Structure 1
Amino acid sequence: MKFTSLVLAAALASPLAMAATDQHQENLATRQYVGGAVSYVDVDDDRQIDDQGEGYSVFYGRQLSDSFWWETEGGFYKMDGEVPDGQDFYQYHLTTGLAYAFGDRTGFTPYVIVALGAIKHEVLPRDDNDTNFTANAGLGAVTGPIFDNGLKLRGDVRYVYDDFDGAGPARGEGGFGDVRASLGLEFPLGYTKVITKEKTVVKTREVAVQQPVIDSDGDGIPDNLDQCPNTLPGGKVDAKGCLIVNQTITFNDILFELDSARLTRSSENTLSRIAQSLQSQTDFRIEVAGHTDSTGSAEYNDILSQKRADSVRQYLISQGVDSGRISARGYGESDPVAGNDSVSGRAMNRRVEFRVTEK
């Protein structure tokens, strides 16, 4: 009996070592398990034994379908009492049967089980040993994995029948029926290590960033579309950004010293920028037209306006503009754009115009 106990203990230790590997997920394709349990036996009264029995077992199970499992179990159970002249039972069970699981055994799963097999009796005193038929049926439950290696807890209660019909005070008279409660451990086989890496998905979105519209010469045509950059300030342009001919551009910021044709310093700066524009687009001519208000005589104003127009023309030529493209004419007070009876009106009339014509 000691030898048998060592064999069963070794069999139980084997799956323990097997399940101690670093594993994380049960292989659902070929699900199997091994395990062991300790048991308490509520002995049939007909056995004439006052004390209860105990024992242990090892088992192997394999999934047959979604809910059905095949399980084979081998166990040893001892039933010895203190009844005078009573018998002590030492049983070796080997059974196989089917279990129906109410779930997939990956979490807490109740089950029912029915098994058939053989039982070897050793009865002391040794005058009634035999091997007999046995069957058991019961209810149980198994937990999901409680450790990374897949270890599960399980327990069940079964009614165990055997047809032992021995002699003496414990004669079976048709067999015995014991109740066995077991608590054990179950180790899934094929429980493999799975390393799951979370993949961080960063969703990106294309955002159209509107580039600032740059119009360096202020003609209303962006630089990237402007075929005539640096257009004459205040002039009307076409879709290409080029100056349109047959228009008049008025400058009220080209000023002269009082009663003189001498340009002010600020006016020279303005005309320098205009000279650059005239050199950027050369397919037109300019007439510089000088105008005055009505202060003074008409003859005086004609002379003054002519001198001022000439002064503007000469300055542009000095800045590199082709003299053949520029003419100058004084109109005096003959073409007012506002009334001469107010300060603001007279200021508007004192002006220089660029009259753009075809070349």
Structure 2
Amino acid sequence: MNGRALVPFLSCCAIAYSIPAAADVTIEEAEPRQYLSPMFHYLQLDDNREIGSKGLGGGLAYGREVADQWWWETEFAAYGLDSGTEFTTDFYQAALTTGLMYAFGDRRAFTPFVVGAVGVIRNDVVPDDDDDYGLHANVGLGVVTGPIFENGLKLRAEGRYMYDDYDGTSFNNTVGEGGFNDLRFSLGLEIPLGYTKVREVEKVVEKIVYKTKEVEVMVHEPDSDGDGIPDSRDECPDTLKGGEVDGKGCLLTNQTITFHNIGFEVNSDKVTASTRPVLERVAKALNAQTNFHIEVGGHTDSDGSAEYNEQLSKARAEAVRQYLIDQGVDADRLTAQGYGELDPVASNETASGKAMNRRVEFKVMEVRK
């Protein structure tokens, strides 16, 4: 309870009830973000093939975030092409491509994207002597929705221009001069890997007793910075979240505050866009109470060499320190230290343990005189 006010009340009966508080929802995702995307494909075939006008198929794509708004995607797809002749074996294709996608957003909500890929395609035709491998390339536009279920499942739709340089003569004895140009329309799903949606619901029970006399009812007072000290008695507003405070709401020294929501680009010391609001709130807290020194400590998991991890953690700690300085924090109050993989807080044998070990810590040091 953050604080209370006493209010008199007069009644002649007694009741009790409970009120569920609003649920806190936490989204946990793998770093970097990844997904699998099964899709159904419809092909509109190039007239120069001189066979049927359509094809049907399916595919499975694997995507991985490589930078802000940039994704790498690899897809295997297979199609059946209508031969256009009754009682005749259809033609078949199988393609493996890889390429890049640019998303016009962070893909956590409805996001359009452009995509391009290149790879190899096999044409299985009649006669078998004309079966062949060829260059295959495609480019297109698409959209992906935000999560529609608790497991993060998304819907995806796209259209692509498809180029196939197959030059066999099996398409009704027609040579594909310059290759064939088809259109592909796709509908499918995106299944995120390492996605968890956690709901934490706190149940608050209020018991109000009504009698034929005045009683006192407790009412919660606001606590804007969530440090356990109500605003009416808080002499240090905007306290650093997660830190221990004294009875006046001011941060205590000789403690370490851990942040798992300060993220960096892959193998880089560049903070992600989603991290900037976190660091801006930290800077606001440091500027609100200036009687202590902060050591910014960077930590990694055990992937890679110990020397590389120490250098990377040091660079990331320096990047956080510089960002706080840019936000107006006195540079003399801040130091940076890289600890690499030397101080794990969880096992490096699991993905969740590695995620816990990739962290930034703020050590609150001696009081400034």
Report the TM range for the smaller structure's normalisation: 0.3 to 0.5
TM-score by length of 1: 0.48
**Taking CA–CA contacts closer than 8 Å with sequence separation of 6 or more, which of the two structures ends up with the larger relative contact order?**
2
